[in-house]
Structure 1
């Protein structure tokens, strides 16, 4: 059992039934505003139409390239679709150097084009015509299937010269400048759309795609008559379209202020995008570790944890002076630990703070801190998913999930399901499936579907 002191410290992270219901209500109101033209500008969840209107049938065939950019690395994939819901994937991960994350946008896209050229040459495909699906996991306004304007950088990127520009065109121009590969950018999407498409390729009941990784976002299949921003020409031939919710921005109009903690405000204050992406800052891997660091620092300063540690002052100094010292992966490792050994927890405490033998009591306290931060994140994600499922007319809805937090945290899936059982309408059935090959396969499938329909 964790003592009362730590439970009281973590109480702000434990959402009451009232708070859960109120966040749910506000989220549903906000997404409704995002879908309507008259209220779109005021909505924090922008609900952008993606112009992806056809889900895969499983019969798609051919070779397609996919490029997945959404963090400090990007992935290039060669996807061979074989029909019968079958596909093979060859891929390679390339780093984005830190200077390119903040340098001129043209340099970033030139680097990506260079890596693409190396990849296709390595696979002896440099002379072949290759349609490319480009997963670009940042907030964008889609103007068509292969045109998307970046509205703002997130996840530590701040390259000048890209916001307000068509990122599909910027990639196309970079490929053309090299002139050493026959690559056509035929579709531009974000990672949630890729996840939905990848899962729909294997399960036709998939209607929602969610990423909980470095960032956090969702998309879902909506009826075209409800999407007022969608060009009327796209409403005539299709009944549905995937909507990119951009729920990471939920709360920017104050809707989450009643559940945000002092720690959330501190994380926001120190971020490069202050007052933006507030929902994401409570749910995504980029921020969860920092939340735990701030809580742990407060617990140490108030003598609620590691009370008998002879190096307390040094412990506090390490936490104060190293903003990124507690990583989100540590939360997953600590929550997976078993009582009373706490092998991973003790190793982490020793590596980070030089404390040789953390007590069982202190390990329990640290695990509870991690649990409260992770459970709140999962609860908020579950609120959003439930709001989307309850909008969808289908009786059974499958949710495609991906992202490092969802994949690596041992209890995140069960935390989400536990809350969804309370919020999804009783006449509906839901399931969650892990996306195989992430959003990369989905990008290739969007390229395949786009090529088939042109």
Structure 2
């Protein structure tokens, strides 16, 4: 039976630089753990690349939560508005509507962006006849924020293609509330802000009491986890807090900005980084998330093509254009059965390349697999870092994001490497966050209201 080493030895050799050894993975685990601890500590927080922000969410769901809650979630290209009606522990109704977000809004004024959020919210509320009920709302805002309270989140910096003016350095919950208040046709009370990973963690915690981690691996990556409050020095009065735990928003996509990952970064990673507007930032994210994986594949294929190792005699201007190999292509290519290359052929055709050379087609698929596999190995390192830090023997992890949802073997690749690194010291279950962030966001709103009432 043929192998990549036999069929395309030069390409196979090039791709070996993306394979991580067990020793390298343990190094990554240790370095990430060290950065998380630096982020938690007051004296070292500023110099850590993993800020480990306190979320001011210290409770996990009890199953006794009840009521109606609104959720507004900002995605990469959409805004979703949801009504979550918790009638009982098992009877939960969700109604939602999604609105497209234009590039002009993402790059225009912050005022226009938040006015758009309020407009979407108003349209949704009027359709359900709840516009004047003054319902509590949780704002799911998955960007790096310094949270002074559960309802105060100051945006540190935009990412993922957003660059709206006059938002960085400001409290985004207040910006949203002000935009809502300027309208006379709705009454809504913004009571909380959280990231998607915190929402996913809490959503799964409704049904699995051992869920202490939420991660996302899609167009971006992040993780939230449950930490002991005594370790959260950035929380004012952490020593005397009556709550044992605190959910931490790691913002681990920035891991590597101080060179912690230089020992595994390749020339292809560096070339991709140079194409971005945030060079030398978000290093971990650029190695694992969907915005960048397709571009890494394109860089490798172009190099192989220029060296006449694949697509001999072919010329293509499209493949020379950055970002033309969408990460969705990787998912389509790897979703096919072994030996089938219809999706690969279609993707190459879009890039101006026509070939029936089976080895070339197999090589493209191999490159996609190698890049996805390294992504999964790095995600496994991140998970193991958190699991070891919490010192738990059994844990469920809420996972969301397009890479995890749609890549046919991504789950299995993460699990294989998690088990390799943990050496049977813990039992881990990865669970797709079917309810997304909405249920968890509703819980945060409920918890915030109870706290205000002194309950």
| TM-score in terms of structure 1 length | 0.96
> Does structure 1 residue 29 correspond to structure 2 residue 34?
yes
Identify the match of residue 216 of structure 1 among 192, 206, 221.
221
Alignment of 1:192-341 (within 5 A): 192-232=197-237, 235-307=240-312, 310=313, 312-313=314-315, 315=316, 317-321=317-321, 323-341=322-340
1:379 lines up with 2:347 in the alignment: no
What displacement does 1:235 show?
Answer: 4.8
2:403 alignment partner, one of 402, 405, 410: 405
User: More deviation in 227-236 or 200-209?
Assistant: 227-236
- Aligned-residue CA RMSD in angstroms? 1.4
186-195 or 5-14, which moves further after superposition? 5-14
Secondary structure, counterpart of 1:155 in structure 2: coil
**Alpha-carbon separation, structure 2, partners of 1:198 and 1:224:** 21
Alignment of 1:111-260 (within 5 A): 111-232=116-237, 235-260=240-265
**Any unmatched runs of 5+ in structure 1?**
none
Q: Which residue of 2 aligns with 1:396?
A: 394
**Alignment deviations for residues 113-146 of structure 1 (CA, whole Å, 9 cap, x no partner):** 1111001111111121211111100011111001
**Partner of residue 88, structure 1:** 93
Deviations 1:171-228 (A, max 9, x none): 0111011132111111100111011011111211100000111110001000000110
CA deviation vs aligned residue, 1:233-282 (integer Å, no higher than 9, x gap): 69522110100011000000010111111111111111111111110011
Paired with 1:235 and 1:50, the residues of 2 have a C-alpha distance of 17
**Quick one: distance in 2 between partners of 1:377 and 1:26?**
17
Task: State how far apart, in whole Å, the 1-side matches of 2:217 and 2:23 are.
Answer: 24
CA contact 2:229–2:238 (8 Å) conserved in 1: no
User: Alignment partner of 2:49: what SS?
Assistant: coil
Partner of 2:417: 419
What's 1:353 paired with? 352
Q: Which stretch shifts more, 426-435 or 208-217?
A: 426-435
**Aligned counterparts of 1:124 and 1:184: Cα–Cα separation in 2:** 16
SS at match of 1:91: strand
TM-score normalised by structure 2 residue count: 0.95
Q: Distance in 2 between matches of 1:442 and 1:436?
A: 12
Number of equivalent positions: 447
Asked if the contact 1:390–1:425 (Cα under 8 Å) also holds between the matched residues in 2, the reply is: no
User: Structure 1 residues 235 and 365, CA, compared in 2 at 3 Å: closer, same or farther?
Assistant: farther
Q: Provide the C-alpha distance between the structure 2 equivalents of 1:440 and 1:289, rounded to a whole number of angstroms.
A: 29
Q: In 1, distance between residues paired with 2:435 and 2:71?
A: 11
